[in-house]
């Protein structure tokens, strides 16, 4: 089977530039914090558009791009999502979660209250596509979770670099998102991103800043 190719457009850098750029990226990305206190201030939509286009460049199985990003700004829809999310979270904190899980969450100070869903100007619901549709035919997608996970990481990084604060929200189950957002059966909710600007007096847990050192997260063989 023949396929088309083109010359790779690759920017060469000196070792000095590479080391500088990698350190700059690390210094910037380590400032990212999960935020739960948002202003209602609007975000320029071009920032969101560019971040989603960046996410869409993620490596993925067979280039089938098994993701869908639903951008939510409608107040009524945000309210419906908050009500549904809080219902799931209340069940989680009042018996669904194990004792060990609740103890692990304690230093983060989380609870079932999700006011930020309504307060933040934008939400992005990210869906993984188990299969795509071409007319009435199903087209199998490959490495779906891996592909969507990488795309989400790029999206979060781009938004952070653009000066947007975020929270990743993953109530379990999240099937209410399909119903509220009228998404088809081949799409499964992956994560709900809450976007905005932090309040002036926003506080974040110190515990979450404690990251493992290189030797604890990497092996050289």
Q: What is the pLDDT of residue 55?
A: 98
- Check: CB of residue 71 under 8 Å from CB of residue 122: yes
Per-residue pLDDT at 26 exceeds 80: yes
For the chain, the straight-line distance linking the first and the last C-alpha, in angstroms and rounded, comes to 38
Quote the CA–CA distance of 112 and 188 in Å, as a whole number: 23
Domains of the chain: 34-193 (3.40.109.10)
Percentage of the chain beyond pLDDT 90 is 82
d(CA 128, CA 106): 30
Task: Read off the pLDDT band of 1 (50, 70, 90).
Answer: low
Please give the average per-residue pLDDT across 184-199, as a whole number: 96
Residues 6+ apart with CB under 8 A from 108: 205, 207, 208
> What kind and span of H or E run contains 156?
helix 144-161
For 171, other C-beta atoms within 10 Å of its C-beta total 21
pLDDT tens for 48-89 read 999 999 999 999 999 999 999 999 999 999 999 999 999 998
Average the pLDDT over each of 44-48, 104-108, 155-159, 210-214 and give the range with the smallest value.
Answer: 104-108
As a whole number, mean pLDDT of residues 202-212 equals: 91
**Alpha-carbon dihedral sign for residues 112, 87, 195, 154:** positive
């Amino acid at each position: 089977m023949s396929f088309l190719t083109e010359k790779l457009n690759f920017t060469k850098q000196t070792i000095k530039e590479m080391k500088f750029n990698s350190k700059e990226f690390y210094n910037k990305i380590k400032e990212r914090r999960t935020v739960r206190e948002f202003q209602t201030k609007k975000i320029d939509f071009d920032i969101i558009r560019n971040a989603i286009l960046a996410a869409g460049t993620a490596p993925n199985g067979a280039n089938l791009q098994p993701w869908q990003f639903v951008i939510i700004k409608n107040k009524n829809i945000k309210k419906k999502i908050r009500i549904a999310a809080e219902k799931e979270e209340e069940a989680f904190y009042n018996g669904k979660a194990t004792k060990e899980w609740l103890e692990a969450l304690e230093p983060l100070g989380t609870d079932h209250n999700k006011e930020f869903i309504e307060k933040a100007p934008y939400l992005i619901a990210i869906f993984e596509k188990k299969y795509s549709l071409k007319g009435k035919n199903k087209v199998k997608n490959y490495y779906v979770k891996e592909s969507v996970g990488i795309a989400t990481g790029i999206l979060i990084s781009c938004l952070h670099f653009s000066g947007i604060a975020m929270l990743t929200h993953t109530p379990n189950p999240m099937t209410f998102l399909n119903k509220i957002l009228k998404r088809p059966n081949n799409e499964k909710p992956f994560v709900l991103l809450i976007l905005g600007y932090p309040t002036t007096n926003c506080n974040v847990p110190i515990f979450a800043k404690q990251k493992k050192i290189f030797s604890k997260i990497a092996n050289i063989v």
